[in-house]
Structure 1
Amino acid sequence: MSKIVRYKGFRFKVLISVCVSLSLYTSINAQVTYPKRAGGPIGEAPKVGSFNSVGTLNKVEYSTGTLNVNIPLYEVKVHDISVPISISYSALGIKVGQEAGAPGMGWELNAGGNLTARINGLNDNDGSSSQIKSTSNIALNPDNNTNHRNLLGLAMDGKADYAWDTYSYTVPSGAGRFTASGLTFPYDPTLKIDFQYKRLTTGNGLIHDFTSGDDILTTTRKNYDENSPGSSNLRLLNSSERWNVRKSSTPEFGLARIISQKFRDTVKFEYETLSSVSSSTGIPDRTRITTTESMGLNKKIAVNPNGTLSNVDGAYYFMQEPVVSQTKVEVMNHRRLKAIIYATGKVLFDYRSTDVLGRDVLTYVTIYQKTGSVYNLLKKYVFNYGDYVNDLQ
């Protein structure tokens, strides 16, 4: 017999009290009983205790005092492959410009994994690397070496690379960072990296393949540029040129499959691609512009003939001309998780058109058990997004 669990969600209303609201919701959900299901490769249904306040609200990060809220929905279990599916809430508060996750504002859907690049300088994969990037330390001497001085100037101006790009990965069994050269953070000698094919093999012998995910374009506005390469003379750029000076594409990757080398099992992750980011697809324009204005202060200090400094303790500072910089971030392509497929079942994720605060709105998580070639409904979670204030009355 299948079971349907309904969640009351919220997206536009401000949380007055996280603890109060969660205790109300969990007390309602605690009335739902979960008949014992078969274990093994089929998976495990969450226990009732996982939904009460004791099970979800007493996990505090001792170093920060942050309350960790995590609600398990299901666990895909195929021999040595385990994929927990849950929703979690961040108790750090809602920040300006923060966008809602798929289950609601402050909530995130945890299922599968991802691989995200952090571009340091220029993208290592577009042929723009330079001699600043190296596996060994370089003794730069810009004061006496003209080449070093010019190279540092190019790096500061965004025209030369200066460091390896780093990649952050998250898989069901753990997380970490690495570079294409093989460096890992934290150090993990058991992690095998096949960067060309976006494949990670963890210490437990599981192979994790990644596929293309969100494609994010970052553009920096620049008002001035040198008249010619290496020139110290600057020219004011036209308005049409200012957003075309510095561009970098930051690719993200989603977990495509987990392969067990021991049991030859495979868990696949399927995604929905939204390449046309516009209102017609239900996905709003994902352009975000951040503007920063800085105003420097300096003090006039003179160097005496004997090498000492004068006016160090002067009471007056001089204000410099404000410097305004802007960074534009655009999501060119968006992919979202649609299904997890495995030998004895599947988990489907359904969404509706997004709201103004988020890109995805999760409506259903449906779990099927496979018998022969037939899929039978095992469990279904329904996410309702209504008026949060009225829901409490």
Structure 2
Amino acid sequence: MAASTPATPIDRSRMPRVEIDTAALKANWRTLDALNVTGRTGAAVKADGYGLGAGRIAAALYEAGCRDFFVAWPEEGVALRESLDAAGVADATIYVLQGVWLPDVPACLAARLVPVLSSLAEIAAWCEGLERAGTKAPAALQLETGMNRLGLDAADLPIVRAAVAGGTLDVALVMSHLASADEETGQREEQRAVFLAMAEAFPGVPRSLANSSGSFLGPDFTFDLTRPGIALYGGRAGAPSEGRLKPVASLTAAVLQVRGARAGEAAGYGAAGRLSRDTRIATVGLGYADGYLRAASGAGVPLREMRPGATAFVAGHSVPVLGRVSMDMTLIDVTDVPAELVEPGTRVEFFGPNVAIDDVADAAGTIAYELLTGLGRRVERVWR
């Protein structure tokens, strides 16, 4: 058998990349922590740290002072525990928001995870798993307060209290989730009132209600532990957050080619980007396969009838996206940028310090969460 040939390194300088500013991440956590005068500030690192890398995100936040982390699935929790253990972090608490079923219990125990239980069936499964393992371990409870998503109802509480009184269930946290923390609908106050009434069934147990936007609502909502997510990563968290959070993720890609086109010609698929002037077009190696949404296109998608398309930033200039975003490429209009500043290899920012991620999300009719968690595998994660 012939000897294998060593892999030849590939030049990634033209590939899309997202640069992650850990100093900004830590600063955002400290900003949120300063708002919480009643308790601790945790961090949502589910969906692989909102697409950026949960292990590195959690390690940076631990350095800032965070000790409580939230993931969605047991598998995420196991991976995060392994990462933190490798970094020498032993005292972090990892909550699993979507609970556990009986087959998950051994792995959760081994990784020291705290499941968030949302139904009587989940509580029964957790307690049975503990009995089989001959051990005890804490769990959290999710209470249904008006979102109608996950959670125990008020009618379930007598059974849960009996399990606590009988010693089969150790409750370390009671929590619920605000559905409208960033909107003046009155729902958040209604949920808070329901939460307070239900939490009275567990006197002395720490309470958690506030997400990112809820963290800005003051001590009536922060309770003992907050669970910010998008705010940590620099996304908008309601009006009170404006100007107080730093951008953490910067998505850039390289120009592949610059070409001239005449007024009246078209750019991109479907001739959607009809040119109103002689135009210099830069083709950039980033597309919807990388997570840059087609809905952000400059033309040719339904949203353009209601709002402008996205912009990018290159060589100190804000420039519009032209035509439709395609799978691997996006066109931008660089007519107003000095020609010597844009050439193959020049990097273009699609969101970051100069292009707010929430502005791109608005152009695409979505939210910053989707842009971050949708970043593709081809996008290199670079830590600063």
Which of these two proteins has the greater Rg computed from alpha carbons? 1
TM-score (norm. length: structure 2): 0.23
TM-score (norm. length: structure 1): 0.23
Greater strand fraction, Structure 1 or Structure 2: 1
Greater helix fraction, Structure 1 or Structure 2: 2
